Amino acid sequence: MISKGFKQFLAEANAVIETISVVEAKEMFGREDVVFVDVREGEEWSRGRIAGAAHAPRGFLEFLADPESPMHNAALDPDKRLVLYCATGGRSTLATRTLREMGFERACHIAGGFNAWLEADGPIER
């Protein structure tokens, strides 16, 4: 038996992060101080994403977010509002907690993820 499962990890993360609705996310879309961050894998990314989103797969997130890393992605700017998403919200919940622990105080994620964005007719690109 494992000592901690995904449900507990998600509950712990949800207790300390900010989750926004897709309506709130759409209101933020296009603002200069906001960066949408897709934490899905490359294959998912290539099938479609929120228009203009940065790509930071969850497996590389710490390396992409850290300015001291050779893999650093400058789009992950701690001074901006980072709005994370995955397919349905699980991975982005955990990724948001990670970024918050790294000092990205304005990081949040979209409830329902990319699927909710699609249902709300948010702008996408392929």
Tens digit of each residue's pLDDT (9 = 90 or more) over 98-125: 999 999 999 999 999 999 999 999 999 9
- The mean pLDDT of 88-94, rounded to a whole number, is 98
Closest residue by Cα to residue 19 from 118, 111, 115: 111
Residue 118 has a pLDDT of 97
Order the strands of the 19-20 sheet from edge to edge: 19-20, 108-110, 81-85, 34-38, 54-55
The class of domain 8-125 in CATH terms is alpha beta
First-residue to last-residue Cα distance in the chain: 42
Q: In degrees to the nearest 10, what's the CA dihedral of 122, 19, 35, 24?
A: 40
Query: What gap in Å lies between CA 119 and CA 5, rounded to an integer?
Result: 29
Instruction: For 22-40, write each residue's pLDDT tens digit.
Output: 999 999 999 999 999 999 9
pTM, two decimal places:
0.96
Domain residue ranges in the chain: 8-125
